Structure 1
């Protein structure tokens, strides 16, 4: 009931305001002419105040009904000039109607503002010719005044349109960047786990008849890995839900503290990961911690898939202002730039203002190195 009452009050207010505006529009020419005819040595008294108030109300009509509003201004001031053909009335006619032209040019399209410009200019020029016997200079002033006003209003509209276009483009770029981020997250999350699952499935299929225990271990590894990736996907999809902004993710994002679990799952795939820590370990900002983990995960996945080696080394070094990541192997090496893994790692590091390098080692194998800024102050704030 309160909402319904409020809605009715709003409708009554809008109706009352519309009645006031249209009543003022109807009365305006008559009041203005009466004020002009009664004025002798300038406009004084209550009539001037009422005329000024009605002028403001008619100008307010331009907001929703520009053509009737501008037409009323032209009619009223032309009629007033007819009753008292003096320069002061002509100047007011030009100034007030030109302001209407500028407002319409700033708020309406050219198909509306250009005809308004033409009609206003014609009325002003014709009024000057009929009532004031002007010279060429006065006509030039009239043309310049209305043209400059229209151009000023049009420039405001153009700037507003450009600002809106830039806002739309910025929104589109933000959406595209978010989609790329999600794509990288999905790639990093799924590629590693599916690769391990595929390898374990192959191992289990080959030894299921001869070594049932090993096949059981492979199935256990597949189950654990698949549960991990499903939990990660569930967290991501929950975070992306738009219909329930208050929903919290089902679990924390992975970080460098999860490297031991990553090493265990990779060991089940046939590659031993030697994780080495240097420097004093400390909490990192969430984005740095997640990106560092994803870089190691992607690099280790590439070792499993392409290196053909039984082990690799992961070195995490904490500096005062940064964290460094290095993943090395002694395998067959690789080709930089193939697939999306190297590109994704490079983009992650670049977004955080760090440095990234990946390529074959001089003595064989492959090396991935990243340096990500992580000041101690930022880490403390993140905790």
Structure 2
């Protein structure tokens, strides 16, 4: 449906044409009808821009060729052609330019009465009058397309920047989660084990208040550890980035793949009944094996390595033995980190040369009251 504003513009154009026609000597009925018909398409300039432009310019040129004063209709037709070039596809510009130029060239050539001006000049002038508004409209359309493309490009750049920011935030959040787990979680575990061990010491048994206090410490640290883990779970799951699953011993084949890819002959020995264990034990065993195999590949110059995982009733034993050059436990080689990790869960750890090669062994308790190489509670009897 034509808009009210467009209808109003059409009415104003018709009124202007009538004023011009009736004020001159060519205000006959035919001239009035042509003026009305030429200006009426203005009402459809938004809904049907191309047909409106073609029709208006043709009728205006016809009136001009017949000798009527068609200034307003011609101007209206040229404006409609320019708007059609703006709002139509780019493939329309060239045909519309040729059409407008040809129509106006014919009208000017026929209506021209000046004997001084050659016909060819009138044709060129008419073509320029018709083609110029269309070319201007096409230029405006191209500029608008470039503006839209630039805006779309800027929007995409902003989206990519936002994604990079979100990714960086998610990665930082996960890094914080890992750091909090490695530091706070391990320390809370150590405090809980200390309190549990101290509550069973001979000196604590004779003092109910001390025993109760140690029990409360043990319970509170256990609750805090659980809450910390739950909070870290929420922190890890709250963003678009995903954290890799907790490493487990069922992924041994994947763990051994880098050593095999490095050319080592890997012998995997599984003893006992394999079964799911607690996350702490699974992660500790996995990391000990991972660090040990990394050291074998990097430092031992070995040709083969034997990996043993033994499931016992009360403990899990993991062992890595290589046939490389035995080496001392140098600081920074990962030995200290493995020793601390094993101590946190109350296990025993050893690493050292064994004949020709190096052996790393960790025994991790599966019972509720672990023993072995753990931090001994203050007041506990050795």
TM above 0.5: no
Report the structure, 1 or 2, having the larger helix content. 1
Higher RCO (C-alpha 8 Å, min separation 6): 2
Measured against the shorter chain, the TM-score band is: 0.3 to 0.5
TM-score normalised according to structure 2 size: 0.43
> Rg: which structure is higher?
2
